[in-house]
């Protein structure tokens, strides 16, 4: 390695999702120099998932031909309420986690300082730092992945609130008595537009006898369905998938109108696996529905668009806090 490479030259950003773990190695200038991805397998339990995170980090460091001595710290985003002070994951329904000492356990395994935060918060920070040039005062990030996470920037800073848990946008109830959500409630935004809910809806409709090309693509059980499969099905003219995706986009628009009415942000950025795969299909409906439902005047001049960062949003935000906390 060149002489300029010093012990403290790099930070690691980890995005722990309900489906996959993604790790990125970043320079101090927040340029990503390598990524590693493995599946999460939450059904194997907390200990196994934390070992998988550690392995994913080790592989990423190794792939970049670095050693742990060159890593200053690790930021990690988890899908749920996280106490950023203690690094504890209080509640992550899509992982089945409650009160997990994520920071402590990972630090013990990796021997490096770890900083944990809610994944929606980190993805929002990632978009704010790496994608938005205008640096708006008030901004929202909304991420449709396995579940739905979000983050709120107020006065240019991540807003956490009294219990440091602000930004749980996915568990805003928008359809009282609606579908069951992983959190235990019914009718949450996540239960209407998160990937898990879309997959479940399609699987249920297939069981009821509805037809879709997805069964030809994936088999009758629709195993290993991915967001990209929905896009492929729609482009093949599949009505069932199209209707499910249109509905999810409408729910997303309504959720965004709620947030515009409550918070009046200047910029709203969408991301996550569902949006990355289906932006062309969903964004026009999301934008129209949001503007239609927003109170008169509240959407004026507001930018609402899909992030171009894709998977990098979460790991970038994680790198941002790792850099900040180790400076």
Residues that bind its own copies (CB under 8 A): 81, 83, 90-91, 98, 136-138, 152, 154-155, 159-169, 171-178, 183, 185, 187, 251, 254, 257-259, 261-266, 293, 295-302
Residue among 154 and 217 whose Cβ is closer to its own copies? 154
Which residue's CB is nearer to its own copies, number 37 or number 160?
160
Least Å distance, CB 100 to its own copies, is 12
User: Closer to its own copies at the Cβ: 38 or 132?
Assistant: 132
Query: For strand 267-271 and strand 303-306, is the pairing parallel, antiparallel, or unpaired?
Result: parallel
Degrees to nearest 5, angle at CA 273 with 36 and 187? 135
Residue 11 and residue 17: Cα distance in Å, rounded? 19
Q: How many residues does the chain have?
A: 327
Report long-range pairs for 321-324 (Cβ below 8 Å, ≥24 apart): 321/75, 321/115, 321/117, 321/122, 321/125, 322/11, 322/12, 322/13, 322/26, 322/72, 322/73, 322/74, 322/75, 322/115, 323/11, 323/26, 323/28, 323/30, 323/72, 323/73, 323/75
Nearest CB to its own copies, comparing residues 26 and 251: 251
Q: What is the smallest separation between the CB atom of 282 and its own copies, expressed in angstroms? A: 17
Smallest separation, CB 215 to its own copies (Å):
29
Smallest distance from its own copies to CB 147, Å: 12
Please check whether residue 158 is in contact with residue 121, taking contact to mean a CB–CB distance below 8 angstroms. yes
Q: Dig out the tokens for 142 from the structure.
A: 């909304």
Query: Least distance to its own copies from the beta carbon of 185, Å?
Result: 6
Closer by beta carbon to its own copies, 69 or else 300: 300
């Amino acid at each position: 390695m060149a002489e300029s490479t010093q012990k403290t030259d790099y930070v690691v950003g980890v995005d722990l999702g309900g489906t996959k773990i993604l790790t990125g190695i970043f320079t101090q200038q927040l340029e990503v120099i390598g990524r590693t991805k493995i599946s999460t397998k939450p059904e194997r339990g907390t200990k196994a998932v934390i070992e998988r995170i550690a392995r994913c980090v080790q592989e990423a460091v190794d792939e970049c031909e670095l050693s742990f001595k060159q890593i200053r710290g690790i930021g990690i985003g988890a899908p749920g309420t996280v106490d950023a002070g203690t690094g504890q994951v209080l509640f992550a329904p899509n992982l089945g986690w409650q009160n997990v000492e994520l920071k402590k356990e990972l630090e013990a395994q990796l021997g490096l300082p770890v900083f944990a935060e809610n994944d929606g918060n980190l993805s929002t920070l990632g978009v704010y730092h790496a994608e938005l040039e205008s640096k708006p005062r008030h901004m929202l990030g909304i991420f449709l992945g396995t579940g739905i996470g979000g983050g709120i920037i107020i006065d240019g800073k991540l807003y956490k609130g009294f219990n440091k848990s602000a930004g749980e946008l996915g568990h805003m109830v928008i359809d009282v008595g609606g579908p069951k959500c992983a959190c235990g409630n019914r009718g949450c935004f996540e239960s209407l537009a998160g990937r898990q809910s879309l997959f479940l809806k399609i699987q249920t409709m297939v069981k009821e006898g509805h037809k879709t090309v997805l069964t030809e693509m994936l088999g009758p059980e629709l195993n290993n369905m991915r967001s990209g499969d929905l896009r492929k099905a729609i482009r093949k003219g599949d009505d069932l998938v199209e209707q499910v995706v249109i509905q999810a986009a409408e729910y997303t628009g309504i959720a965004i109108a709620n947030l515009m009415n409550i918070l009046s942000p200047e910029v709203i950025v969408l991301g996550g696996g569902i949006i990355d795969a289906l932006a062309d299909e969903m964004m026009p409906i999301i934008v129209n529905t949001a503007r239609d439902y927003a109170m008169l005047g509240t959407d004026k001049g507001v930018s609402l668009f899909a992030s171009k960062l894709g998977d990098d949003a979460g790991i970038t935000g994680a790198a941002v806090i790792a850099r900040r906390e180790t400076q």
